[in-house]
Amino acid sequence: MTKLISRAGSLLHNTTHKQQIDRELTEEVSSYVEMLTEEKMKNGMNEQDARRAALVEVGGVEQVKEEVRASRSGSGLESFVMDLRYGMRSLLKKPGFTITAVVALALGIGANTAIFSVINGVLLRSLSYANPDTIVMVWERGATERNARNVVSPANYLDWQKQSMSFDQMAATVEQRVNLTGGRGEPEEIKAQFVSQGFFPALGEQPMLGRSFLAEEDTVGKELVIILSHELWQTRFGSDPAVIGKQATISGRQRTIVGVMPPGFHFLDNQVRAWMPMALDPAIDYRGKSGRYLKVVARLKPGVTVQQAQGELTGIAKQLEQTHVKFNTGWSVNVVPMHEQVVGEIRPILIVLLAAVAFVLLIACANVANLLLSRAASRQRELALRAALGASRGRLVRQMLTESVLLALMGGLVGVLLAYWGIQLLIGFGPDNIPRLGEITIDPRVLGFTFGISLLTGGLFGLIPALQASRPDLNDALKEGSRGSTGGRSRTLRNVFVITEVALALVLLIGAGLMIRSFVRLQSVETGFNPENVLTMRLQLPRKNYGEPHQILDFFKRAEERIAALPGVQVVGAISYLPLTGPAARDGFKVVGRPEPAPGQEPGVEVRVITPGYFQAMGIPLIKGRLLDERDGKDSRLLLINETMAKKYFPNEDPVGKQIIVTWSDGVVDEIVGIVGDIREGALNKEPETAIYWPHPREPYSGMALVVRAAGDAARLSTVVPKEIRAIDPEQPVADLRTMKQVVAKSIARPRFNTVLLAIFAGVALVLASVGLYGVMNYSATQRTHEVGIRMALGAMRADIMRLVVGNGMLLTLIGIGIGVAASVGLTRLMQSFLFGIGTTDALTFIAVSALLIAVALVANYIPARKATRVNPVIALRYE
């Protein structure tokens, strides 16, 4: 204890009386030397010899003093502050070096911070529901992999809910577009979720105003209530605090507003603006009446694991397979944790992007390490002097590390600013189907990450040059006129750095190249339709005013007629599910006259209804037979099939005239009258599915997409077309008014986004690597001025010199490319799932990217080489 107090006292004393202590120390050590000298003289030496012997024995006054200083309390702090000041000063003295290094580091650290903040917001931060870890999605699992997370039949959902014991709550939801009138503004189509009673309790969320749904409101006849999203409450109801109890008209029916959710609340789809009770009726035979269309969410009971819940539901599903052979054969259950559901799909690309930015940072590190090496060479005399004055090697290393960490922290600071700006860009340009994109911010964890990687990079790029430079040969370095060359070791290091940079940059460029090639392929996919000059929009007719099929059909007929009469319109059609905007209805079918397939084994088919003008408006060719037209009304038993269906199920016969039965039309036989061309309906990168088309009157959908082919630019029709709709029904909203080209572009927004990001990172990597290459080549050319002078004096030609200098750089580049290609072969496999139409080792990409890098390297080599050949031998030789 006394020791501690005494130490603390000395620390205070040491830091406050530094100069006095130093003076006394000097006096103490020199008095020692004096006394030792006298002692030696007493023993018979002359004064000069005695003094020399004494000094030798002491081993350097300054070294002794340094030892004492180092052993004193507070020496760490003191020398740290000193290093910091010294470091700052020496960085400011070389602004060119400092700015270059800070910019390189800021690019690397900024890119890492931006991508990490995305990963933090999307992957790491837990979902915003209460206790999100116990929330799961429950899907049906079909026989094939694409059905692994299939929507759920209401009947199966009701049975699961009744029989399972693993859950506190289980709730069903389904999204629907509805028309909203009332409140402020025009009638509007909004997305809503119809939910069963357990929905809000399962997510552990409460409305911020009002209440959630009562159990009895989830029954037919009592379901006319609605809960608003915060956004809808603000935009449509002016944030009215007294909105509870007021009425909203949804698709023509009055509903009482009972609650408003807090801002940011959403379930799977952040476009949903309202929630209403689903009111399933347990008395209805849903298996006979409808397909699978629900999304089921559940809250696990405390202590129940996902595996246990999965096990229980699998057992229940097995029973249901036996009790409902026709409907359930081949169908099981798939329990997916909510977090996995939300982010599972985006995780792989985020990991690839993180790897990409890590590479950028490594290149930046190699660059700065090289700069430091060159700088250390020119600082060698300064370091040697400090060593001679008693600084130990550890002390020198520490001082240089302080400098490099200082650099890295400056880079980190600028990097955070870059990242902040970059995140705004990401959010602004990011496709809206990236989950949780709006939740990305720079929070303390991100800042901690940035600080951490700044320190790490500072150590990483600083350590090797520091170790290298802290071992100067005093004799050589201090000699007057020494050229301060750092010799072979540091040249080897520099070369290793350059090779590393080239290899890393090549991997990134190949990654980006593959993405670009894949994206170009995606864009040039044969869609099967002609998106030029086509305007599309969605119309969802409310059941209240359009309860009868003839009302629906009449509306669309009138709308098509009015629009077709507009100048500049060529042809108008409508379809139940517009291509590239989400899934269509799906069902099973069988061909009349062929053996009955086993239950669960029926081939699947996508079912759409169309009006006569649709195929012409979309530019889809008729391959065989005839199209459907006005003759094909409500009682029509005719349909069209697509080419895929014709090839797959009628390979060696003419399908026209053949008969099939679609499961949901319950035994009614349809006859094929025509074959139309395949189109990419689901996504550009998905092969066309087996599909049929019925005439609209056969299944009078109340929601259809209108497709208008114009003579010229379709966008010009976007003001006049909605007017025609309103002329028929002023209450009817027009939704998703866009050209077909916009629809196509939006469907590939995410791959475009990924491609652009990766391309940007690869571009940064290329610039950093070529700057690094240039720097090293330039440095070594300068170092070799003397040598070049001699060679030229001895008669070497410019071309020889050029070959010498460029050859050296190109050798490094080629080694780097070799390593990079080998690494790419291994790493690009991670990208398999994002690539479309090309392999992960696409030869063209590998060759083109290597060629690009070689070209850039040639330029980076050529400039210093040319400078070297301009050397005047006389001056070069006199330069000594």
Task: Give the one residue of 22, 27, 47, 554 binding another protein; rule: CB under 8 A.
Answer: 27
Instruction: State which of positions 684-723 bind another protein (CB under 8 A).
Output: none
How far apart are alpha carbons 560 and 707 in whole angstroms? Answer: 9
CB atoms within 10 A of CB 672: 23
| Closest to another protein by CB, 73 or 636 | 73
How far apart are alpha carbons 635 and 695 in whole angstroms? Answer: 10
Task: Give the one residue of 45, 58, 745, 825 binding another protein; rule: CB under 8 A.
Answer: 58
| Closest to another protein by CB, 256 or 392 | 392
| Residue 67 binding another protein, by CB under 8 A | yes
Task: Give the one residue of 57, 548, 561, 653 binding another protein; rule: CB under 8 A.
Answer: 57
Residue 189 near residue 541 (C-beta atoms within 8 A): no
| Rounded alpha-carbon distances, angstroms, from residue 160 to 138, 154, 164, 293 | 10, 10, 6, 15
Instruction: State which of positions 380-409 bind another protein (CB under 8 A).
Output: 394
Please report where in the chains the tokens 């929630």 appear, as a residue: 275
| Closest to another protein by CB, 12 or 720 | 12
Residue 179 near residue 173 (C-beta atoms within 8 A): no
| Closest to another protein by CB, 66 or 587 | 66
- Binding letters toward another protein, positions 826-865, x by CB under 8 A: ----------------------------------------
| Closest to another protein by CB, 54 or 609 | 54
| Residue 32 binding another protein, by CB under 8 A | yes
Crossing angle for the helix pair 843-869 and 785-793, nearest 10 degrees?
Answer: 70
| Residue 62 binding another protein, by CB under 8 A | no
| Closest to another protein by CB, 36 or 355 | 36
Q: Rg of the chain over CA atoms, in angstroms?
A: 38
Classify the phi-psi angles of 612: left when phi > 0, otherwise alpha if psi is within -120 to 50, otherwise beta.
alpha
Task: Give the one residue of 45, 53, 64, 819 binding another protein; rule: CB under 8 A.
Answer: 64
| Closest to another protein by CB, 67 or 729 | 67
What does the DSSP assignment read for 253-314? Answer: EEEEEEEEPPTT--BSBTTEEEEEE----TTS-HHHH----BEEEEEEPTT--HHHHHHHHH
Tell me, by CB under 8 A, how many residues bind another protein: 29
| Residue 34 binding another protein, by CB under 8 A | yes
Which residues are bridge partners to 693 per DSSP?
608, 640
The stretch near another protein (CB under 8 A) out of 32-40, 194-202, 484-492, 732-740 is 32-40
Q: Which of 338, 296, 351, 519 is nearest to 436 (CA)?
A: 338
- Binding letters toward another protein, positions 83-102, x by CB under 8 A: --------------------
How far apart are alpha carbons 841 and 831 in whole angstroms? Answer: 11
The stretch near another protein (CB under 8 A) out of 66-74, 306-314, 746-754, 780-788 is 66-74
Compute CA 69 distance to the chain's CA centroid, rounded to the nearest angstrom. Answer: 53
To the nearest whole angstrom, how small is the minimum distance from the Cβ of residue 88 to another protein? 23
To the nearest whole angstrom, how small is the minimum distance from the Cβ of residue 150 to another protein? 58
| Closest to another protein by CB, 464 or 863 | 464
To the nearest whole angstrom, how small is the minimum distance from the Cβ of residue 9 to another protein? 8
What does the DSSP assignment read for 736-766? Answer: EEEEHHHHHHHHTHHHHHHHHHHHHHHHHHH
| Closest to another protein by CB, 36 or 735 | 36
Query: What torsion, rounded to 10 degrees, do the Cα atoms 430, 432, 437, 441 define?
Result: 60
| Residue 39 binding another protein, by CB under 8 A | yes
The stretch near another protein (CB under 8 A) out of 67-75, 196-204, 263-271, 815-823 is 67-75
Instruction: State which of positions 554-583 bind another protein (CB under 8 A).
Output: none
| Residue 3 binding another protein, by CB under 8 A | yes
| Residue 77 binding another protein, by CB under 8 A | no
Which residues are bridge partners to 228 per DSSP?
260, 274
Task: Give the one residue of 15, 45, 53, 72 binding another protein; rule: CB under 8 A.
Answer: 72
| Residue 28 binding another protein, by CB under 8 A | yes
| Residue 471 binding another protein, by CB under 8 A | no
The stretch near another protein (CB under 8 A) out of 31-39, 306-314, 770-778, 837-845 is 31-39
| Closest to another protein by CB, 3 or 878 | 3
| Closest to another protein by CB, 32 or 664 | 32
Burial of 452 (0-12, 13-18, 19+ CB in 10 A): exposed
Task: Give the one residue of 19, 43, 46, 71 binding another protein; rule: CB under 8 A.
Answer: 71
| Closest to another protein by CB, 68 or 413 | 68
| Residue 525 binding another protein, by CB under 8 A | no
Q: Which of 188, 179, 183, 193 is nearest to 247 (CA)?
A: 183
| Closest to another protein by CB, 6 or 424 | 6
| Rounded alpha-carbon distances, angstroms, from residue 646 to 673, 678, 686 | 12, 10, 18
| Residue 24 binding another protein, by CB under 8 A | yes
To the nearest whole angstrom, how small is the minimum distance from the Cβ of residue 510 to another protein? 38
| Closest to another protein by CB, 84 or 737 | 84
To the nearest whole angstrom, how small is the minimum distance from the Cβ of residue 397 to another protein? 8
Q: Which of 61, 62, 67, 77 is nearest to 14 (CA)?
A: 77
Record the tokens describing residue 294, joined without a space. 């629900």
Residue 259 near residue 306 (C-beta atoms within 8 A): no
| Closest to another protein by CB, 54 or 507 | 54
| Residue 29 binding another protein, by CB under 8 A | yes
Task: Give the one residue of 26, 31, 48, 833 binding another protein; rule: CB under 8 A.
Answer: 31
The stretch near another protein (CB under 8 A) out of 23-31, 90-98, 435-443, 505-513 is 23-31
The DSSP bridge pattern shows strands 659-662 and 670-676 to be antiparallel
Helix (H, G, I), strand (E, B) or coil at 641: strand
Task: Give the one residue of 15, 45, 53, 73 binding another protein; rule: CB under 8 A.
Answer: 73
Task: Give the one residue of 10, 181, 482, 616 binding another protein; rule: CB under 8 A.
Answer: 10
Q: Is the dihedral of CA 638, 643, 649, 651 positive or negative?
A: positive
To the nearest whole angstrom, how small is the minimum distance from the Cβ of residue 503 to another protein? 29
Which phi and psi angles does 196 have, rounded to 5°? -85, 170
Close Cβ partners of 538 (under 8 Å, ≥ 6 residues apart): 177, 189, 578, 703, 704, 705, 706, 734, 735, 736
Helix (H, G, I), strand (E, B) or coil at 692: strand
Q: What is the binding site for another protein (CB under 8 A)?
A: 2-3, 6-7, 10, 24-25, 27-29, 31-32, 34-36, 38-39, 57-59, 63-64, 67-68, 70-73, 394
